[in-house]
Structure 1
């Protein structure tokens, strides 16, 4: 990624893709904070596209960030390959660039956040999916800021450039 591209403001959607639901997170234009914004109940791919297209338009998303469920040994198992297929089709349908983030343990982290809020993970699956999507997107945003630092630019200066 070029320094010019990194300096631009960014609006991204983060996805936690599951068999039954897709957790969706978004970030503000500064690209600092990720927030869970929706949970899509998976009915059909076409319906998934419709719902995500609406969010892309509302939030003017420029990139799709998808959590890839690597195995603990770092390999891509069956579920990760299914997520890749879905993500590639979705990125093509939405006409957005696609980036992956290692999502190992994000669902566990999301469940822990739910427990800290004194809620039951068993009764808050959709919320867990949104929180997991936010964790995925936040990892991507943090990695992006790290790239900024490596280019010797301050994040506040570079993220606020309107060029």
Structure 2
């Protein structure tokens, strides 16, 4: 964290320490966490959104508990790569969360993550109820792992 009231800028995004992966949704948020070495992402939790103050309290608590150094927010873009209204909402959410936690934020392409998560969970032979209960956090894990595996973490969101 910095002494300033503004969060660090994206060009100072940390290359060591835990990152929080966020699969943004208007009803639910999937949360994933990286290892301190930023090599492996793991699903952490699904959170059903309530109010802005409660959402902020929940996410701040996780960021503090896990000593998170940065946020990676999934950016829903069209197949063409163009941004959508949902992209704008995700960016606004990321800015809000960054300001709240004083952590830098990166946005990362989340195209196909829900589909891949659904395939993984289906292969695990889970019931529909159990798949649904894990979907968002597994999508967050996939998005965060794609970010961690990228050769260029500063690149604009690209297709998976």
Please confirm whether the aligned pair reaches a TM-score higher than 0.5, indicating the same fold: yes
Q: Does 1:106 align with 2:104?
A: no
Q: How much does 1:105 deviate? A: 0.5
Q: Does 1:87 align with 2:112?
A: no
Task: Write 1 or 2 for the structure with the bigger share of helix.
Answer: 1
The SS at the match of 2:142 is helix
Match of 1:16 among 10, 16, 23: 23
Q: Pick the structure with greater CA Rg.
A: 1
Q: How much does 1:138 deviate? A: 0.6
Tell me the equivalent position of 1:69: 76
In 2 relative to 1, CA 121–19 (structure 1 residues): closer, same or farther, beyond 3 Å? farther
Tell me the equivalent position of 1:151: none
More divergent stretch after superposition (120-129 vs 65-74): 120-129
Once residues 54 and 122 of structure 1 are traced to their aligned partners in structure 2, the CA distance between those partners, rounded to angstroms, is 27
Once residues 144 and 88 of structure 2 are traced to their aligned partners in structure 1, the CA distance between those partners, rounded to angstroms, is 20
* CA RMSD after TM alignment: 1.8
Q: Structure 1, unaligned stretches of length 5 or more?
A: 149-163
Tell me the equivalent position of 1:118: 125
Once residues 132 and 101 of structure 2 are traced to their aligned partners in structure 1, the CA distance between those partners, rounded to angstroms, is 26
The 4+ residue runs of structure 1 with deviation greater than 4 A are none
Residues 122 and 131 of structure 2 are in contact (CA less than 8 Å); yes or no, is this contact kept in structure 1? no
Residues 114-142 of structure 1 deviation map (CA, whole Å, 9 limit, x = unaligned): 10001244653230101000011111111
Once residues 145 and 128 of structure 2 are traced to their aligned partners in structure 1, the CA distance between those partners, rounded to angstroms, is 21
Once residues 67 and 121 of structure 1 are traced to their aligned partners in structure 2, the CA distance between those partners, rounded to angstroms, is 24
TM-score (ref. length: structure 2): 0.82
